[in-house]
């Protein structure tokens, strides 16, 4: 099966370089009309220039594709609205949104000030929300949409000096979890990419030999899969150096204590069993956790519902 995007329209944020550029080029090469969004700022979110986005557009057009550039700051609701309006005026629909734009302001939490924390959360989390909100009704009305959030191993597992980045990136998984529920009946799929690649955001963090293996284009196939018509829904796909895996949040079976037995001492005494990872299960909604605890408590108390 060949995955194509003919007659589909895609917006890729932060697509002036790195991962976003590769996503935009690959979508266009497979038939999509692409909006190359990039503010043109540096890795810390400072400055701005339209040249990076336009260069990617020029590359797409030279290869026979269709693309336009837009310099919207994803943190600015009005600028994002203008980007969406421009896209609709040009092509009349929006099928794919890849929320890729991001910045870094790495510091240990003790040295991190509020502005460093808030700015990173604003770009990664609120910026993704702004763009998603701007296309949501369009995708609902046309009964089709594929949205890719960009999470990170820093959010899933933690990384020293990235409390701001990790918080924003894991929040995007929570954002996805609810959106995929609300979007399913409108044929809107929402997924997350957890990439590792050699970009300007990873320069100096790894040895040159490792960066040589981490080409951004080796991550992009995961985005192409998630953006496809038959792509998944509610998946977190980790990708790097040509490797792909699915990250899954699980919850152990745990234990239930009745009445006065529900004490911190009992938790401590039974911690090994409570935290036994071999009993872990993936839940598809928060209500599944609620029902697990409620059903066990009802059984212990001899209570029947319904």
Active site residue 165: yes
Neighbouring C-beta atoms of residue 119, cutoff 10 Å: 17
d(CA 167, CA 120): 9
d(CA 132, CA 164): 21
- H/E run at residue 292: helix 286-301
- Asked if residues 169 and 120 have their Cβ atoms less than 8 Å apart, the reply is no
The catalytic position among 157, 165, 186, 283 is 165
d(CA 249, CA 274): 16
- Asked if residues 39 and 48 have their Cβ atoms less than 8 Å apart, the reply is yes
What are the DSSP calls for 23-41, one per residue?
Answer: HHHHHHHTT-EEEEE----
- Asked if residues 94 and 134 have their Cβ atoms less than 8 Å apart, the reply is no
Could you tell me what percentage of the chain is helix, strand and coil, using 3-state DSSP and rounding each to the nearest 5?
A: 45, 15, 40
3-state secondary structure of 210: helix
Neighbouring C-beta atoms of residue 172, cutoff 10 Å: 24
Q: Which residues are catalytic?
A: 165
């Amino acid at each position: 099966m060949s995955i194509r995007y003919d007659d589909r329209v895609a917006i890729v944020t932060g697509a002036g370089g790195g991962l976003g550029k590769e996503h935009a080029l690959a979508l266009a090469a497979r038939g999509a009309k692409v909006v190359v969004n990039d503010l043109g700022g540096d890795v810390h979110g400072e400055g701005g220039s339209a040249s990076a986005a336009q260069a990617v557009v020029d590359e797409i057009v030279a290869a026979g594709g269709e693309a336009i550039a837009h310099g919207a700051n994803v943190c600015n609701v009005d600028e994002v609205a203008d980007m969406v309006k421009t896209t609709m005026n040009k092509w009349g629909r929006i099928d794919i949104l890849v929320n890729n734009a991001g910045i870094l302001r790495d510091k240990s939490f003790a040295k991190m000030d509020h502005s460093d924390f808030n700015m990173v959360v604003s770009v990664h989390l609120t910026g993704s929300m702004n763009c998603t909100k701007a296309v949501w009704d369009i995708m609902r009305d046309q009964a089709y949409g594929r949205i890719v959030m960009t999470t990170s191993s820093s959010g899933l597992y933690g990384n020293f000096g990235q409390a701001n980045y990790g918080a924003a990136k894991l929040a995007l998984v929570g954002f996805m979890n609810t959106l995929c529920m609300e979007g399913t009946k409108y044929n809107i799929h929402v997924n997350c990419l957890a990439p590792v690649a050699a970009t300007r955001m990873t320069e100096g963090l790894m040895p040159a030999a490792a960066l040589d293996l981490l080409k951004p284009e080796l991550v992009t196939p995961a985005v192409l899969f998630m953006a496809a018509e038959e792509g998944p829904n509610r998946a977190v796909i980790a990708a790097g150096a040509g490797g792909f895996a699915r990250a899954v949040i699980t919850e152990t079976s745990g234990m239930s204590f009745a009445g006065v037995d529900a004490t911190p001492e009992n938790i401590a005494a039974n911690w090994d069993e409570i935290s036994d990872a071999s009993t872990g299960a993936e839940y598809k909604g928060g209500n599944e956790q609620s029902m697990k605890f409620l059903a066990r408590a009802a059984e212990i108390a001899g209570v029947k519902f319904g």
